[in-house]
Structure 1
Amino acid sequence: MRVAGAVPGQGGVRPAGEVFDPACRRCPRLAAWLDSAREKHPGYHLAPVPAFGDAAPRLLIVGLAPGFHGANRTGRPFTGDHAGILLYRTLHALGLASAPGSNDAGDGLCLHGVRITNAVRCVPPANAPRTDEVHRCNAYLTHELESLSPRAVLALGQVAHRALLRAIGARPSRFDFAHAAVHDLSPDFMLVDSYHCSRYNTQTRRLTDDMFHAAMSRAAALAGLIPGDGDAD
């Protein structure tokens, strides 16, 4: 599927996509949160964070939102905080990233066939975006899907899972989130779910390195980036 309309047979209506606005202030709470942090953190990005990676990706990874001291500081998704450790290490192990880690947006890291974005582009208080904020940001995700046409998406967490489905006009209630679940959305568009690679999930062992590697491997195989048919080992 190239996201030309609603997912066939799902009864959804695809929203209109919009080009990412690096100066977006549609969400009053998030805009105010960014404004309030500027005096204390003058060197931080403190603005909507754009997607990062291959300009013609086969695999799109969708996270939740920028971390305050990670992407909100560096201006690049999953860069400079705990969540990026497992993500970039796994991508590198699969040959999809030029280095196993990323702490700075100017470090020269390159992704191969992969692009990373977030369901919400601005850092939310307590790392918890509200539903209306996810919905306002959804037009940017829709535009990315329309313009990039990835073969597969890896959704990191339930919010990202639901945002992706909303962006293509599918009904989230018809596709339950579960770690390592694979959803065949159309003949050429697959969705793979994973628990988010957050500090909480990895430290509590809700998500292990092996679990994340398996989910990422399956998504990459379905996207045609690594050998295999996407079946679990």
Structure 2
Amino acid sequence: MARDADGYPVTRTPAGVVRGARTAVDLAAVDERVCGCRACPRLVAWREEVAVVKRAAFRDQVYWGRPVPGMGPADARIGVVGLAPAAHGGNRTGRIFTGDRSGDWIFAALWRAGLANQPTSVAADDGLELTDCRIVAAVRCAPPDNAPTPAERDTCSPWLARELALLPRLRVLVVLGGFGWSALLPVLAAAGVVIPRPRPKFGHGAEVTLDAPGGPLTVLGSYHVSQQNTFTGRLTEPMLDAVLTRAVDLARG
């Protein structure tokens, strides 16, 4: 596999994503290959343009400008599935949900739930660590208007599938938003998880326990921690805390 100037393995096609994900032996390999992915031309162009143009408040910073890998330990029993990196958040800092207001919300909530060692996430080297939890995204590149296309979602799905497969203790998935929910269910079905018909519908507080090859897997829904939801009060801290508390109870109980 060819490598780019920074040493990351380069993947340029959907077929290459499938091969790269399938042969990744551990989470570190998945993360490295994600960082070199160039399989979606629209997303590559956008993330790199943002990294050059920048936001005025960050004009002196060097943007990451690459796909953003997941974060969290391989023994995690809880997974959190987001949509995609923010243009001036994860696309700037190189760490998922880091450096924007959505990250302020989710990491503070994870800290309150005992799943993070600190309530803030401002930079990739700020000392944040997760316990028993791994955060992933349905799409790994910042998309224009926060809206990946279905084709981009499907191209990226092998990374998500492999990442979840490499979490052997996984028992609960917290899905932030309807896009993540619709991206996740086909990935689970392809992994042998029994998805009921009709398919479970997304909603805040939605809960479904599925028959998975490794044992029961519970999927919980939460409104996304986007500013559109948090600024308007559609999602409140107690609402988010309730979902994460339920996840902890299920994972550890």
**Given the two structures, how large is their TM-score scaled by the length of structure 1?**
0.85
Q: 1:181 aligns with which of 206, 214, 234?
A: 206
Partner of 1:89: 108
2:95 maps to 1:76:
yes
TM-aligned CA deviation for residue 222 of structure 1: 1.2
Q: Which amino acid aligns with 1:29?
A: R
In 1: Cα distance, 2:133 partner to 2:80 partner: 7
Conserved? CA contact 2:222–2:240, under 8 Å? yes
TM-aligned CA deviation for residue 116 of structure 1: 0.5
Conserved? CA contact 2:51–2:91, under 8 Å? no
TM-aligned CA deviation for residue 164 of structure 1: 1.3
Partner of 1:161: 181
SS in 2 for 1:53: coil
1:12-23 matched pairs, under 5 angstroms: 18=22, 19=24, 20=30, 21=33, 22-23=35-36
Partner of 1:49: 68
1:71-150 matched pairs, under 5 angstroms: 71-149=90-168, 150=170
SS in 2 for 1:145: helix
In 2: Cα distance, 1:38 partner to 1:102 partner: 20
TM-aligned CA deviation for residue 180 of structure 1: 0.6
- Structure with the largest fraction of helix: 2
Deviations 1:98-140 (A, max 9, x none): 0011101100111110011110000000111111111111101
Q: Which amino acid aligns with 1:50?
A: P
Conserved? CA contact 1:165–1:171, under 8 Å? no
In 2: Cα distance, 1:200 partner to 1:171 partner: 31
Q: 1:63 aligns with which of 61, 82, 94?
A: 82
In 2: Cα distance, 1:28 partner to 1:96 partner: 36
Paired residue total: 211
Partner of 2:58: none
Distance 1:28 1:194, change over 3 A: same
SS in 1 for 2:127: coil
Q: Which amino acid aligns with 2:222?
A: S
TM-aligned CA deviation for residue 192 of structure 1: 0.4
Conserved? CA contact 1:162–1:172, under 8 Å? no
Conserved? CA contact 2:223–2:229, under 8 Å? yes
TM-aligned CA deviation for residue 54 of structure 1: 1.8
Structure possessing the higher relative contact order (Cα contacts under 8 Å, 6 or more residues apart) = 1
- Deviation larger for 183-192 or 168-177: 168-177
Distance 1:172 1:193, change over 3 A: farther
Q: Which amino acid aligns with 1:193?
A: G
Distance 1:45 1:189, change over 3 A: same
SS in 1 for 2:166: helix
In 2: Cα distance, 1:84 partner to 1:160 partner: 16
Q: Which amino acid aligns with 2:165?
A: E
